[in-house]
């Protein structure tokens, strides 16, 4: 008997990866790239460390993605601890590698999240200035960040949204949000963004929960909240990895489904360089998948 599949849902999709820090992690990354490429993402992105601390690994991953896959690839770029000339040099390296998409970020201070950010004396002051600089360098498709619960360093949400408007006015094509788990938070944020005259897409960032305890620590540094209902959803599954993964997939799929019903059309998934949980989420949503051999073409 043929199993009944959920109805196919069509939506825009992008995945975020990070440069591997070991040989084992490198294998994990490329396994995830091959597997997740079958979901036909609009693009994938590769993160970039503060002050260019992962410039070489990021460039290596980007080059291989462009060389060996058909995936449209975006390179993250920050302006922390870099002059304009140094930043332009990195951009030219990306462009020579075939990069036409950039995720432009101010970046966290090299001294760590929570420490004071000090712009380079000869560099871009913030992400809006970086977007404007990229527009002068070339015709890139530029994504930026957005924070439904405000950036940890912003005085308030109004200031944060004003910075988002500056990024949009400078030429950003879309904003990818910090992850969140309460869709009401996103709805309220979107209302304020539109009221501020910002009409570019605000793409929800979705974080499938690999480990709730670790997520809470990470969220605390990012200024993102973790609703208490998640504790109840995951209670009793600490020693049951398969059941825990099923709950995690349910949580993410339910969040995306609710946002689809609210009219959202695009999603950015933080993969953590792992494909299994992301696959479960997209399977539950009924998204069409290519054969793996075709995905790498």
What are the pLDDT digits (tens) for 37-80? 999 999 999 998 654 556 789 999 999 999 999 999 999 999 88
Question: Which pLDDT does position 115 carry in this prediction?
Answer: 52
Q: Is residue 2 part of a domain?
A: no
Distance, in Å, from the CA atom of 103 to the CA atom of 175, rounded to the nearest integer, reads: 9
| Those residues with Cβ within 8 angstroms of residue 245's Cβ, 6 or more apart along the chain or in another chain | 276, 277, 280
What pLDDT shows up at residue 4? Answer: 43
User: Does the residue 7 lie in any domain?
Assistant: no
pLDDT greater than 60 at residue 7: no
Kindly state the average pLDDT of the residues 263-274: 97
The answer to whether position 35 is within a domain reads yes
User: How far apart, in whole angstroms, are the C-alpha atoms of residue 259 and residue 236?
Assistant: 28
Asked if the structure places residue 95 within a domain, the reply is yes
Q: Which of 270, 273, 105, 284 is nearest to 181 (CA)?
A: 270
DSSP of 177-222: EEE-S-HHHHHHHHHHHHHTT--S-EEEEE---S-HHHHHHHHHHH
pLDDT above 70 coverage of the chain, percent: 88
Please report, for the domain that includes residue 149, its CATH number.
3.20.20.220
Per-residue pLDDT at 296 exceeds 80: no
Answer yes or no: is pLDDT of 110 > 90. Answer: no
In a domain, 24, yes or no: yes
Mean pLDDT, residues 261-272:
97
Least trusted range by pLDDT, from 109-123, 202-216, 217-231, 246-260: 109-123
Is position 198 within any domain? yes
pLDDT, residue 117, reads 65
Q: d(Cα 272, Cα 214) in Å, to the nearest integer?
A: 12
16 is annotated as an active-site residue: yes
Rg of the chain in Å (alpha carbons): 19
Separation of alpha carbons 151 and 132, rounded Å: 21
> What is the extent of the structural domain holding 124?
12-295
Q: Flag whether 6 is in a domain.
A: no
- Predicted confidence at residue 222, as pLDDT, reads 84
Structural domain total, the chain: 1
List the catalytic residue out of 16, 116, 149, 242. 16
pLDDT digits (tens, 9 = 90+) for 163-207: 999 999 999 999 999 999 999 999 999 999 999 999 999 999 999
Q: What is the pLDDT of residue 3?
A: 38
DSSP collapsed to 3 states, 59-112:
HHHHHHHHHHCCCCEEEEEECCCCCHHHHHHHHHHHHHCCCCEEEEECCCCCCC
What is the average pLDDT score of the chain? 90
């Amino acid at each position: 008997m043929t199993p009944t599949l959920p109805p196919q849902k069509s939506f825009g999709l992008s995945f975020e990866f990070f440069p591997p820090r070991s040989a084992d992690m490198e294998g994990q990354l490329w396994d995830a790239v091959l597997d997740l490429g079958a979901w036909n993402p609009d693009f994938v992105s590769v993160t970039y460390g503060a002050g260019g601390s992962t410039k070489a690994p990021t460039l290596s991953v980007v080059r291989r993605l462009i060389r060996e896959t058909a995936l449209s690839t975006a390179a993250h770029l920050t302006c922390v601890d870099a002059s304009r000339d140094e930043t332009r040099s990195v951009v030219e390296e990306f462009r020579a590698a075939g990069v036409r998409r950039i995720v432009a970020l101010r970046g966290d201070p090299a001294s760590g999240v929570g420490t004071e950010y000090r712009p380079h004396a000869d560099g871009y002051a913030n992400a809006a200035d970086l977007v404007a600089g990229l527009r002068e360098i070339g015709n890139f498709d530029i994504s930026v960040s957005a924070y439904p619960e405000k950036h940890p360093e912003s005085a308030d949400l109004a200031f944060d949204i004003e910075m988002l408007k500056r990024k949009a006015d400078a030429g950003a094509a879309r904003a990818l949000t910090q992850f969140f788990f309460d869709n009401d938070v996103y709805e309220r944020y979107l209302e304020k963004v539109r009221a501020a005259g910002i009409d570019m897409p605000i793409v929800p960032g979705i974080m499938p929960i690999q480990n709730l305890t670790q997520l809470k620590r990470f969220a605390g540094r990012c200024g993102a909240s973790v609703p208490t209902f998640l504790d109840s959803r995951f209670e009793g599954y600490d020693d049951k990895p398969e059941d825990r993964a099923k709950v995690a997939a349910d949580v993410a799929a339910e969040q995306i489904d609710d946002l689809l019903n609210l009219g959202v059309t695009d999603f950015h998934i933080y993969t953590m360089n792992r494909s299994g949980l992301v696959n479960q989420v997209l399977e539950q949503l009924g998204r069409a998948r290519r054969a793996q051999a075709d995905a790498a073409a």
